[in-house]
Amino acid sequence: MRTDEPDGTAAPSWEGERSAVARCESVVREYSRGGRLGRRNGSSPAVRAVDGVSMAVTPGEILGIAGPSGSGKTTLLHLLAALDTPTSGTVSVAGTDTATLSERGRARLRLEHVGVVFQRFHLLPALSARANVALPLVELGWSKRDRRERATELLERVGLADRTDHRPGELSGGERQRVAIARALATDPELVVADEPTGELDTATSERVLDLLASLGEDTGVVIASHDGQALDRADRLLRLRDGRVDD
């Protein structure tokens, strides 16, 4: 296990929080009206996107996050994925307080421990589906042969065995979503966070993708933020948000 980052940042560690793959404790995330962090120069924040949320994601479970648009679902996912840090409170992923890491350290944390399924895919248009899926493995130093085999296997699992060499512009929205899901699973992460993972899929394909997320095993926690009842019905438990707070 690594003990430090090249830039001097403490490396991610599992020690001390093995019972949860991710945890939020009294988390607040504030933004000004322009999207920046609130309380700047002593001013009051315009938006409190997440307001005092405490929760945990345990290995082997699917946690659904439900709520109306603007309730804080995507912001909470970004915090769990270490794409953002809280204004106050603590977000721990893989046993590490994400606020203690540099941006580079958080990127390494995501690479090694978190798979992210973005609502807008974030695929590189110049690369094939297989190359997009294999991208995280390049950063981890996998050989070209192993990257190719892993990416091909995952594309087969999401029903895209015949589309491996197609670029994103040659794929439908649903196919691009499945490529994004395959990429999120490439490193066999301990935590998978998915923002509307079935939003672009028909009912049959949604069921296939949800089956895949449910089959990840007892060591992986999955968080799905969605308006889709089909997706939320697959969750082991639901966290409902309203105006950034847990809605009891």
What Å distances lie between residue 178 and 71, 120, 153, 196, 212, CA to CA? 26, 12, 13, 12, 11
pLDDT (0 to 100) of residue 7: 44
Nearest-angstrom CA–CA distance, 90 and 68: 25
pLDDT (0 to 100) of residue 34: 59
pLDDT (0 to 100) of residue 14: 35
What Å distances lie between residue 159 and 144, 164, 175, CA to CA? 22, 10, 9
pLDDT (0 to 100) of residue 204: 86
| Range 60-86+97-246 classified under CATH 3.40.50.720 | no
> For residue 162, what are its two tokens?
């015949």
pLDDT (0 to 100) of residue 169: 95
Tokens 């005092």 correspond to 52
Nearest-angstrom CA–CA distance, 50 and 38: 12
Using DSSP's 3-state secondary structure scheme, residue 3 falls into: coil
pLDDT (0 to 100) of residue 218: 86
- Residue 88 per-residue DSSP state: E
Strands of the sheet with 221-225, listed across from one edge: 114-117, 191-195, 221-225, 62-66, 237-242, 245-246
- The alpha carbon of 184 is separated from its chain's Cα centroid by a whole number of angstroms, namely 8
pLDDT (0 to 100) of residue 44: 57
List of the chain residues with pLDDT < 70: 1-18, 33-45
What pLDDT, in 10s, does the model give residues 75-118?
A: 999 999 999 999 999 999 999 999 999 999 999 999 999 999 88
pLDDT (0 to 100) of residue 121: 84
pLDDT (0 to 100) of residue 1: 30
Phi-psi map region of 219: left, alpha, beta (phi>0 left; psi -120 to 50 alpha): alpha
154 contacts 182 by C-beta, under 8 angstroms: yes
What pLDDT, in 10s, does the model give residues 164-182?
A: 999 999 998 889 988 999 9
